[in-house]
């Protein structure tokens, strides 16, 4: 059986070069293989024509190329596309509360880990003008358990490896190669299933591969990492990742009382502490923060909430993304009224806060923000 960690999308030129060296293959073979995978979009060793028969057989026998199966491919009326991927070779990584493993030492809601069982995640391609944004998952399920989000309803099953994070973008890119006039992924957002800062050990190398010229070649400035936020984790990301990515803080409330009602992990920190960490992020990286705020009817969408949010946003260099709640079956929350959303935005703008209303894309296939989940359960 192939070792699940020998995943082509988890390799760098250095590690693949070492793999080739161990098998007495020419050093330039690593570059050729990566060129086939990323530049040409080929993951069938038999099609890699500049490799010898022996080398192609070696790749086929020892290397994992696509480590999951697409169970469903859905297209929304607005052009959004969603893939449900089932990971089948035992590569889903159990979660440890070890900082050395890149995870956060916090309670995990509903965690159950069986290393060799099948696991599923969803990823989404969002078209808009000349942008093609891949919304990807970093974990199977989510440990945070936000009360209004579908991704954490079943708790956390495990972390995705760096290879599987990159594979999602590659799969979405393959769709574009064949069907889209832009033909490539231009932006990546870590806003699918999971809490990215709870899987830093995989997210950081995945971002490096996504932004590298030898990899997906996506500008780091077009990569956004979204987090529910813990100060130490934000500081750790700034230390580990020396690339100009965008940090998005899922705030969702203007005060700690409401935030703790909506987000279980908010019990472990305060908004002031989070904003302090965001200021340190800006000082170290020079990159503005995006504050994400999901509007829930009657919960956090009143004028007084907008005024409170404006005061928070003005304490740091930040943009505000307002997100209309996207309905999730079985949850009590309701989508805000359009007039309330516009009034909320106007209050922010009058306070000179740069506030945008994010379009809800893919709602008719449950691909919008907060709707990603396990659509099919394994038998």
Of 20, 55, 122, 123, catalytic: 122
Q: Does residue 181 carry a catalytic annotation? A: no
Rounded to an integer, what is the distance from CA 166 to the centroid of its chain? 10
Distance CA 31, CA 45 (A): 14
Q: Does residue 339 carry a catalytic annotation? A: no
What does the DSSP assignment read for 196-256?
Answer: GGG-HHHHHHHHHHHHSTTTT---GGGEEEEE---HHHHHHHHHH--S-PEEEEE---SSH
Cβ burial, residue 375 (10 Å; 0-12/13-18/19+): middle
Of 20, 135, 149, 369, catalytic: 369
Please, where are the H alpha helices in the chain? 13-22, 29-34, 53-62, 162-179, 200-211, 231-240, 256-262, 271-285, 303-313, 338-350
Q: Which residue has the tokens 């790749």?
A: 59
SS3 of 95-145: the string is CCCCHHHCCCCCCCCCCCCCCCCCEEEEEEEEEECCEEEEECCCEEECCCC
Distance CA 245, CA 42 (A): 28
CA nearest neighbour of 282 among 316, 326, 258, 320: 316
Rounded to an integer, what is the distance from CA 128 to the centroid of its chain? 18
Q: Give the residue numbers annotated as catalytic, written as ranges.
A: 122, 369
């Amino acid at each position: 059986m192939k070792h699940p960690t020998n995943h082509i999308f988890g390799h760098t030129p250095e590690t693949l070069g070492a793999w080739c060296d161990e098998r007495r293959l020419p050093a330039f073979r690593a570059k050729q293989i990566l060129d086939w995978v990323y530049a040409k979009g080929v993951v069938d060793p038999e099609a890699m024509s500049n490799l010898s028969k022996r080398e192609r057989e070696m790749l086929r026998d020892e290397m994992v190329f696509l480590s999951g199966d697409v169970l469903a491919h859905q297209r929304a009326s607005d052009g959004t596309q969603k893939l449900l991927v089932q990971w089948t070779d035992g590569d889903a990584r159990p979660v440890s509360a070890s900082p050395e493993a890149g995870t956060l030492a916090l309670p995990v809601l509903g965690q159950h880990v069986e290393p060799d069982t099948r696991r599923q995640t969803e990823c989404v391609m969002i078209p808009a003008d000349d942008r093609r944004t891949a919304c990807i998952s970093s974990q199977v399920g989510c440990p945070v358990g936000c009360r209004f989000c579908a991704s954490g309803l079943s708790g956390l099953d495990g972390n995705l490896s760096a290879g599987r994070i990159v594979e999602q973008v590659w799969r979405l890119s393959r769709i574009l190669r064949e069907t889209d006039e832009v033909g490539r992924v231009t932006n990546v957002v870590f806003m699918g299933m999971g809490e990215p800062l709870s899987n830093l050990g995989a997210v950081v190398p995945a971002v490096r591969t996504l932004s590298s010229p030898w990899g997906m070649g996506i500008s780091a400035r077009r990569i956004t990492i979204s987090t529910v936020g813990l100060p130490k984790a934000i500081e750790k990301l700034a230390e580990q990742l020396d690339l100009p990515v965008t940090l998005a803080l899922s705030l969702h409330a203007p005060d700690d009382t409401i935030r703790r009602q909506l987000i279980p992990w908010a019990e472990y920190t305060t908004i002031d502490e989070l904003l302090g960490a965001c200021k340190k992020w800006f000082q170290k990286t020079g990159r503005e923060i995006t504050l994400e705020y999901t509007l829930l009817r009657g919960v956090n969408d009143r004028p007084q909430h907008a005024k409170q949010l404006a005061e928070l946003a003005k304490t740091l260099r930040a943009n505000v993304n307002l997100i209309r709640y996207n309905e999730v079956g079985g949850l009590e929350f309701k989508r805000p009224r359009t007039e309330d959303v516009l009034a909320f935005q106007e209050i922010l703008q009058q306070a000179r806060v740069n506030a945008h209303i994010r379009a809800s894309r893919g709602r008719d296939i449950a691909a919008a923000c907060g709707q990603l989940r396990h659509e099919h359960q394994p038998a």
